Chains A and B, each alone.
Chain A
């Protein structure tokens, strides 16, 4: 189907202050231009050649997706960069592929862990410093194929990350809580246990913007 739209080009002549000597000429002109969706030009309010805008069909088929995209940031588990990001590793951490992360970052994570909590021996998961930081340094999120997904719900551990999961408390507990989770009670929770807005049980789950 051929579609047309009319564009009115209104040109007021000699109204520019430049031409003061002839502004009294009451000239103006209406020119009707014709813009079509098959003229091979990007004109009117088209977003591409003969597509998009108010009249023509959307530009979908000819959207440009070419090019090489190079990594600048990545994320698996929450807060890893915040808590364990030691000075000087941020840039490299963001551009190291997960299969190389353990070798690259485990030892600096361990140093950082023992810096944060010098008394660290083990945590509520029974992981010593080396094992715990080995788990964390491979910064990918484990998600269970079936069943409950949660960062920690009292039973399941690290089987995904729900919107409601208090991931900060889990992290703090595992860093500062000691083997029984009872050490350093003022450091094992930030005492903010839920989002200020409730989530929907249906897609897209996350609440409308404020």
Chain B
């Protein structure tokens, strides 16, 4: 065969298929050169139905159309999602909950004190806390282990925002929002990892972090996406 001169092989064939626009709820991230599936779309944390529990929702790959695009959407097995919990307000994680996909399952580790804090992580295999088969659009799977509940798979994107109008305002082509606005995320899906943890596993919160409610004990929480090197 004539050698694939189409370096457009990369430019053309490859990227064509690969340059899926990954637009995140945080919110419009770049399209990938070849799929930067580490982009976090969104992050929620709230008290569970059982007030003794705290829920974390981590969304990746926002703005997925229904039907086949949702059925085809997959978590990247080289990407570790790590929920960080700081319970003494030094902005350094004291506990982490790690989630990573292997084959058709999402595995969870922790909450556990990380072996190292910061930008690099290793998976704490000894502290696997559970796993859940990754749900499909029709087969919804949740599991519970030691009081922790797990879910991973496609969901309706819970985010709502008139991003179109926001873009216009920022671009200077509109002076304000429309009333009513139009939810750019309406009818679209997202890949979610959801975990509900007994608060007793997270230690005590600390007062003074939130200047607007200085006597309320809080946890500082955030999520990281880390790629295998």
Touching chains A and B, CB distance < 8 Å: yes
Q: Once A and B bind, how many residue pairs between them come within 8 Å at the CB atom?
A: 273
Q: Which of B45, B82, B169 has the most CB of A within 10 A?
A: B45
- Taking a contact as CB atoms closer than 8 A, the residue among B131, B196, B225 that contacts A74 in the complex is B225
Complex: how many Å from CA A81 to CA B211?
22
Complex: how many Å from CA A207 to CA B186?
12
Task: Tally chain A residues at the interface, Cβ within 8 Å.
Answer: 78
The interface bits of chain B over 69-89 (1 if a CB of A lies within 8 angstroms of the residue's CB, else 0) are: 010000000001010001000
Tell me whether A163 and B57 are in contact (CB under 8 A): yes
Tell me whether B156 and A68 are in contact (CB under 8 A): no
| A202 in the interface (beta carbon within 8 A) | yes
- Taking a contact as CB atoms closer than 8 A, the residue among B165, B216, B226 that contacts A69 in the complex is B226
Tell me whether A78 and B229 are in contact (CB under 8 A): no
Task: Tally chain B residues at the interface, Cβ within 8 Å.
Answer: 97
Tell me whether B160 and A195 are in contact (CB under 8 A): yes
The interface bits of chain A over 183-199 (1 if a CB of B lies within 8 angstroms of the residue's CB, else 0) are: 01111011111111101
| B189 in the interface (beta carbon within 8 A) | yes
Known: A159-B216, A205-B55. A196 touches B186 (CB 8 A): yes
Tell me whether B102 and A143 are in contact (CB under 8 A): no
| A21 in the interface (beta carbon within 8 A) | no
The interface bits of chain A over 55-72 (1 if a CB of B lies within 8 angstroms of the residue's CB, else 0) are: 000011001111111111
| A27 in the interface (beta carbon within 8 A) | no
Tell me whether A210 and B225 are in contact (CB under 8 A): no
25 A-B pairs (CB sep. < 8 Å):
A63-B102, A66-B123, A68-B228, A69-B227, A70-B119, A71-B118, A72-B225, A73-B224, A76-B220, A81-B26, A81-B27, A139-B222, A143-B219, A143-B220, A144-B217, A149-B47, A157-B210, A184-B176, A191-B181, A193-B160, A194-B160, A196-B160, A196-B186, A209-B66, A209-B155
